[in-house]
Amino acid sequence: MKKRRVAILISGRGSNMTALIEAATAADYPAEIVLVISNVASAPGLAFAAKASIETLTIESKSFGKDREAFERKLNDTLLAKNIELVCLAGFMRLLTPWFVQQWQGKMLNIHPALLPAYKGLHTHERALADGAKTHGATVHFVVPEMDSGPIVLQGEVPVMAGDTPDTLAKRVLAVEHRIYPEALRLVASGKVDVASAPT
Ligand code: GRF
């Protein structure tokens, strides 16, 4: 089996990145994580990736100021130079332009902490609680130019419990994220799911 070459883009903690790295150590996993890029130099996730002997790079978006495309050209050139085939956004807190998204159309996944199309954007747990939602969860989807949209690869649901706070709910959802992201990457890397077959 030829493993697909994957880069993970992070900005922070990197717990989803860690789940992907750990899953990809299995001999029969159809993808290998060859590169982790952070747009924030102090992202704690970088240390874990380095410890796992994965190449890490920082491309600081801050230093490009408002020039989004210059940052993204550098990002894109780097991914191409490393022969990356699939990109996983994992807590990557930077909006991507349609140009960049188009370069990776059908080859870039994101995880969002809500049952899309519900609760796009930030503060998903607070908003689910404020609405009195009975269930909540996480979604892995192909990235399209519109934020937190795009064909869905996998979703995982959790109950909202009486007395939940944003933190307790986030913790329950995060456990699901760590289960579904590796499974979604498996489906995409093995060709069982592609952008055309996934439901929007
Ligand atoms: C996760 O909740 C993910 O769904 C969202 O950002 C958070 C990143 O956490 N996109 P981590 O860096 O993977 O720990």
Total-model pTM: 0.97
Using pLDDT thresholds of 50, 70 and 90, give the confidence band for residue 199. Answer: confident
Q: What domain range includes position 45?
A: 4-189
Question: Domain of 18: which CATH number?
Answer: 3.40.50.170
For the four alpha carbons of 86, 194, 61 and 118, in that order, the dihedral sign comes to negative
Whether 198 is covered by a domain: the verdict is: no
| Domains of the chain: total | 1
What does each C-alpha distance from 37 to 5, 61, 139, 171 come to in angstroms? 14, 11, 22, 25
Question: Which residue is catalytic, options 112, 125, 136, 141?
Answer: 112
pLDDT digits (tens, 9 = 90+) for 21-42: 999 999 999 999 999 999 999 9
In contact, 80 and 104? CB cutoff 8 Å = no
pLDDT tens-digit series, residues 39-68: 999 999 999 999 999 999 999 998 898 899
* Residue at 32 is within a domain: yes
91 lines ligand 1 (CB under 6 A): yes
| Res 180 pLDDT > 90 | yes
What is the distance in A from the centroid of ligand 1 to the CA of 36?
Answer: 15
In a domain, 196, yes or no: no
Condensed to tens digits (0 to 9), the pLDDT of residues 76-128 reads 999 999 999 999 999 999 999 999 999 999 999 999 999 999 999 999 999 99
